[in-house]
Structure formats: structure tokens, C-alpha cells
Amino acid sequence: MEGSRLRSHSRKGANCGYLLMEDEGTVNEKSVTSEGMNQAGPSGSGSREQDAIYQKGKLVARVVKTEVDLESKEIRFDEVLDSDHLVLAEECEFQKYRIMIQKVAFATKVDHRPGRNGRTLAGCTAEILGYIEQ
């Protein structure tokens, strides 16, 4: 997918500068923000879950509180959970984007919250490489 270009939508809703999306995230010309989306839905790649990161077709991590910044070609994740199988040096897929995680502020294998197993990464920034081909 060489030479793919990122596209941003510049339409504005009536009475405000934002469009409310089905997944309750907010979109403007520069960014998309969402919190804890976990339902499968219309994304770039079929029936994949909206709060999941995939590598080689396999779910390798879950994300919490994401912000997609199309202007800077970055996605910021507050947390990446259960990420033992996520290889940071390899390309990933998140929603409709091909990404590469570039920064991790904090990583731990000790997470005492119920239902949390494996590595937790906090304050992650990923570079948007392009879009997933259909």
C-alpha cells in the first residue's frame, strides 16, 4: 500500500464544529476521540472489534481511550491492555489504520485490576502508516 494518503473529513455539523459518530467518539478536521469502544462495527476490516489491535490477523491487545490525530498522523492510546503478544517492532492494525507503535511512557506486567492479565502499556503513541486495504 505504498503511497497511501491520509484523508480527513472537513464537513461540519449544524450548530457545532464536530460530528458525533456511531461509536460515540467525536470527530473534527484534526482528530477523533473515543473511549473504550468494544463493539464490532463498520471499520476498515470487516467484523473486527473497535477497541482491539491486531497483528497478522490475530487480536494481540485491547486499548482504552484513543485519540486519532490525522493532522499529525498519530494515534494516542491511554492504555494498551493484555499486550503480551503485541510485538512493538512490527506493524499493527487498529480499526481502519495500519500503525506502528513509536512511544510507550510506561509498561508493567503487574496490574492488580480485575480481569487484567499480561503486559499493560500506558501513554502510547502510534504512527499512522496508512489505511487497511479492503
Domain ranges of the chain: 31-131
CA contacts within 13 A on the Cβ side of 130: 9
In the predicted structure, residue 63 carries a pLDDT above the cut 80 = yes
Model pLDDT for residues 83-115, shown as the tens digit of each residue: 999 999 999 999 999 999 999 999 999 877 787
pLDDT for the residue numbered 52:
97
pTM here is: 0.68
What pLDDT does residue 15 have? 35
Span between the terminal Cα atoms of the chain, in Å = 11
Question: 3-57, pLDDT tens digit by residue?
Answer: 444 433 333 333 333 322 333 343 444 555 555 444 444 444 468 999 999 999 9
